[in-house]
């Protein structure tokens, strides 16, 4: 995987970047964790994307331990 650098709206690839292992939690696991976050917030609407992204990050972090 190459690192991407932006400068003056020009994208440059840094070929020397080291590849990182990325853990990919399943969509069903993310959905369940996202629902848990939604309920923990008091089931208020309007933060579904935030819930999803944070659930995804939670699961990736947990799988790297």
pTM (predicted TM-score): 0.60
Better pLDDT: 62 or 16 = 62
State the helix-helix crossing angle for 27-40 and 48-63, rounded to 10 degrees.
120
Residue 1's pLDDT band, with cuts at 50, 70 and 90, is very low
pLDDT over 50 (residue 9):
yes
Segments making up each domain of the chain, as ranges: 23-65
CA separation (Å) from 57 to 8, 22, 30, 41, 50? 30, 11, 9, 17, 10
* Residue predicted with more confidence, 58 or 4: 58
Q: How many CB atoms lie within 10 A of CB 41?
A: 13
Per-residue pLDDT tens digits for 15-59:
565 555 555 678 999 999 999 999 999 999 999 999 999 999 999
């Amino acid at each position: 995987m190459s690192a991407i650098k932006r400068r003056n709206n020009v994208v440059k690839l840094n070929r020397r970047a080291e590849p990182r292992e990325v853990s990919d939690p399943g969509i069903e696991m993310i959905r369940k964790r996202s629902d848990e976050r939604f309920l923990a917030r008091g089931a208020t609407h309007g933060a579904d994307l935030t819930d999803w992204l944070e659930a995804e990050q939670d699961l990736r972090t947990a799988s790297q331990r």
